Structure 1
Amino acid sequence: MTASALHSDLVLPGTTNAEEDDFIASEYAGDTTYAIMVDQAIDPLYEAKSHYDMCTLIAEKYGIKDEFAEGRTQSEWRSFLIDETRKEVPDLWTEEEFHERGVFRVSNPNGTDVAQKAFREDPEANPLETPSGKIEIYSQQLADMAKEWEFPDAEPGDLLIPLPEYVKTWESAEEARTNEKYPLQLIGHHYKGRTHSSYASVDWTVEAHPQKVWISQKDAEERGIKSEDMVHVFNDRGRIELPAFVTPRIMPGVLSVPQGAWYKPDGDVDKGGCVNTLTRIKASPLSKGNPQHTNLVQVEKVR
Structure 2
Amino acid sequence: MSGDIFGTGNFLNLYQRMPNIVTMNTVKQGVPRLKIPEAIMEGHCETYNADATTIEGQFIPLKYPTPGYSPVKMYYKYGGSHIGTMVDTNRYANMYRSDGLEFVVNQSIWFEGEAQFADVILPACTNFERWDISEFANCGGYIHHSFTQVNHRVAVLQHKCIEPLGESKSDIEIFLELSKRLGLGSVFSEGSTELEWCKRLFDGTDLPYKISWKKFLKKGYYVIPPLPEERRDPVSFRWYAEGRPKDTPEPFPAPSDYTEAYRMGLQPQSGKLEFESSSLKRYDPNDPERPPIMKYVPAWEGPHATELFAKYPLQLVSPHPKFTFHTQSDGKDSIINDIKDHRVLINGHYYWIIRINPQDATARGIRENDLVKAFNDRGAVICAAQLTERIPPGIVHSYESSAVYKPVGEPGRSPDLGGCVNLLTPSRMMIKKSHGMAANSCLIEITKWSDEERFS
CA–CA distance in 2 between the matches of 1:73 and 1:202?
30
- Residue 438 of structure 2 corresponds to 291
- State yes or no: 1:188 paired with 2:306: no
Letter in 2 for 1:57: E
- Residue 73 of structure 1 corresponds to 193
CA–CA distance in 1 between the matches of 2:235 and 2:314?
40
Structure 2 unmatched ranges of 5 or more: 1-110, 139-144, 247-264, 344-351, 451-456
Specify which of 121, 125, 146 is matched with residue 29 of structure 1.
146
Residue 138 of structure 1: CA displacement? 2.5
Specify which of 223, 232, 241 is matched with residue 105 of structure 1.
223
- Contact 1:138–1:162, Cα closer than 8 Å, also in 2: yes
- Residue 45 of structure 1 corresponds to 165
Q: Deviations over 1:48-73 (max 9, x none)?
A: 11000000100111111122111111
Tell me whether 205-214 or 138-147 shows the greater mean CA deviation: 138-147
Letter in 1 for 2:442: N
TM-score (norm 2): 0.59
CA–CA distance in 2 between the matches of 1:167 and 1:190?
23
Q: 1:39 to 1:9 in 2, by over 3 A?
A: same
SS at match of 2:153: strand
Specify which of 262, 268, 271 is matched with residue 130 of structure 1.
268
Residue 29 of structure 1: CA displacement? 2.7
Specify which of 312, 318, 327 is matched with residue 197 of structure 1.
327
Tell me whether 241-250 or 163-172 shows the greater mean CA deviation: 163-172
Q: 1:176 to 1:60 in 2, by over 3 A?
A: farther
Aligned-residue sequence identity (percent) comes to 30
Pairwise CA RMSD: 2.5
Q: 1:10 to 1:161 in 2, by over 3 A?
A: same
CA–CA distance in 1 between the matches of 2:235 and 2:369?
46
- Mapping of 1:1-303 within 5 angstroms? 1-26=111-136, 27=138, 28-30=145-147, 32-86=152-206, 93-106=211-224, 107-110=226-229, 116-120=236-240, 122-126=242-246, 127-147=265-285, 159-175=289-305, 179-203=309-333, 204-208=335-339, 209-210=342-343, 211-261=352-402, 262-267=404-409, 268-285=414-431, 286-303=433-450
SS at match of 1:255: strand
Q: 1:134 to 1:115 in 2, by over 3 A?
A: farther
Q: Deviations over 1:227-275 (max 9, x none)?
A: 1111110001111111101101112111112111122101221111111
CA–CA distance in 2 between the matches of 1:249 and 1:108?
44
Letter in 2 for 1:205: I
Runs of 4+ residues over 4 Å off in structure 1 = 89-92, 111-115
- Contact 1:37–1:103, Cα closer than 8 Å, also in 2: yes
Q: 1:110 to 1:275 in 2, by over 3 A?
A: farther
Structure 1 unmatched ranges of 5 or more: 150-157
CA–CA distance in 2 between the matches of 1:38 and 1:248?
44
- Residue 155 of structure 1 corresponds to none
Letter in 2 for 1:212: I
Residue 124 of structure 1: CA displacement? 4.1
CA–CA distance in 2 between the matches of 1:264 and 1:113?
50
Matched pairs, number? 293
SS at match of 2:123: coil
- Contact 2:130–2:170, Cα closer than 8 Å, also in 1: yes
CA–CA distance in 2 between the matches of 1:69 and 1:176?
59
Residue 104 of structure 1: CA displacement? 2.1
SS at match of 1:266: coil
Tell me whether 280-289 or 179-188 shows the greater mean CA deviation: 280-289
CA–CA distance in 2 between the matches of 1:115 and 1:232?
51
TM-score (norm 1): 0.87
- Contact 1:215–1:247, Cα closer than 8 Å, also in 2: yes
Where relative contact order (Cα < 8 A, 6+ residues apart) is larger, the structure is 2
Q: Deviations over 1:83-106 (max 9, x none)?
A: 1123xx775534223224443233
